[in-house]
Amino acid sequence: MIKRLKLLSTQFISKVNRTLSLPGQCIACCASFQGRGLCSRCLDALPYNWQRCRQCALPLAFAPAKLVLCGECLKHPPAFDRVITPLRYQFPVNRLISRYKYSHQRALGRPLINVLAHEVSGHLIRSPTLRPDILVPSPMHPAKQRKRGFNQAEDIAEHLSLSIGVPWSVTLVKRQRAGPAQSGLNRQQRLANLREAFEVTGRPPPRIAIIDDVVTTGATARVLAELLKTAGALEVEVWALARTPG
Ligand SMILES: [Zn+2]
Ligand SMILES: [Zn+2]
């Protein structure tokens, strides 16, 4: 029975990926439309992250009159300069991302990567001086990457690179340790663990955008930005598909 289910799931995965490679059906509502991925109604209905902290993009429950900082950024100012995450990590974004990452349905990530590419292009038009010199995908430990089959941050970086014409690097920052067990540790201990997990291998260019799929606590982004700035980077942004509420 399990074998049959596995076969069914494999066929479904291949069908989804094939369907998305051709114009046709919306992956969320199944409506027919001229395009790929999400139809315009489903695209408009995505949970966009309009109300957010101006630095870490934490979703805010209220609409501030001007751009504000969240309590965490006020209390512990992060090393990154800003986070760009156009979406909130809630339905259907959470389902799409989890199937993109864990079920090898890589085509399900495409519409969300396109939303991020659109957001980033607007940001670079408004602030051309902030154009990064390089995109750095958040590194995954090689053993984990082998198990999963790919690093989604690299997949996103590759697509963004093609879209905005900025090169990407998988060698500037390496992950030398698998994700340590973080439960039961306090904030300082978690950050210290993460600092030891990454290594900057050379002198970084002045402006960097770290690429990830989801920003959750922001701890990884904080540590990567801190290490890159210590190594000589001047401006570090974080670009991700979605942001969790906390
Ligand atoms: Zn739709
Ligand atoms: Zn914040």
**pLDDT tens figures, 207-238:** 999 999 999 989 999 999 999 999 999 999 99
What is the pTM for the complete model shown?
A: 0.88
Task: Tell how far the Cα of 32 is from the centroid of ligand 1, in angstroms.
Answer: 8
Ligand nearest to the CA of 243: 2
Protein residues within 5 Å, CB atom, of ion ligand 1: 26, 28-29, 31, 39, 42
Q: 133 with 209, same domain?
A: yes
pLDDT at 14 over 60: no
| Model confidence at 1: pLDDT above 50 | no
Ligand 1 mean position to 198 CA, how many Å? 40
Give the pLDDT band of residue 60 (cuts 50, 70, 90): very high
| Ligand approaching nearest to the C-alpha of 76 | 2
- Triad 68, 73, 75: Cα angle to 5°: 120
Same domain, 12 and 119: no
- The residues, ordered by sequence, that sit 6+ positions from 5 with a Cβ below 8 Å of its Cβ are none
Contacts of 107 (CB under 8 A, 6+ apart): 16, 17, 19, 20, 21, 27, 37
Question: Are residues 94 and 14 part of one domain?
Answer: no
Task: Say what the pLDDT of residue 11 is.
Answer: 46
Q: Is the domain of 158 the same as that of 199?
A: yes
- Cα of 100 vs centre of ligand 1, distance in Å, is 18
What average pLDDT does the chain have?
88
Number of domains in the chain: 2
Helix (H, G, I), strand (E, B) or coil at 244: coil
Domain at 137, CATH number: 3.40.50
Do 37 and 147 reside in the same domain of the chain?
no
Q: Are 245 and 85 in contact (CB under 8 A)?
A: no
Tell how far the Cα of 61 is from the centroid of ligand 1, in angstroms: 27
pLDDT (average), residues 88-95: 94
Looking at residue 222, what is its pLDDT? 95
**Could you tell me the distance, in angstroms and rounded to a whole number, from the CA of residue 23 to the centre of ligand 2?**
39
Q: What spacing in Å lies between the alpha carbon of 2 and ligand 2's midpoint?
A: 45
Question: Is the domain of 128 the same as that of 173?
Answer: yes
H-run or E-run covering 154:
helix 152-164
Q: Is the same domain home to 114 and 220?
A: yes
Q: How far apart are the C-alpha atoms of 85 and 238, rounded to whole Å?
A: 8
Cα–ligand 1 centroid distance for 215 (angstroms): 26
Alpha carbon of 45 to ligand 1 centroid (Å) = 9
List all residues 6 or more positions away from 11 whose beta carbon is below 8 Å from its beta carbon: none
The one-character DSSP state at 52 is B
The reported pLDDT for the residue numbered 182 is 66
Structural domain of 98: 46-243
Residues 76 and 189 occupy one common structural domain? yes
Q: Give strand pairing partners of 82.
A: 237
Check whether 28 has a pLDDT greater than 60: yes
Q: What is the CA 52 to chain-centroid distance, rounded?
A: 16
Q: How far apart are CA 168 and CA 105, in angstroms?
A: 23
Degrees to nearest 5, angle at CA 246 with 222 and 120: 60
Q: How confident is the model at residue 103 (pLDDT cuts 50, 70, 90)?
A: confident
Same domain, 71 and 83: yes
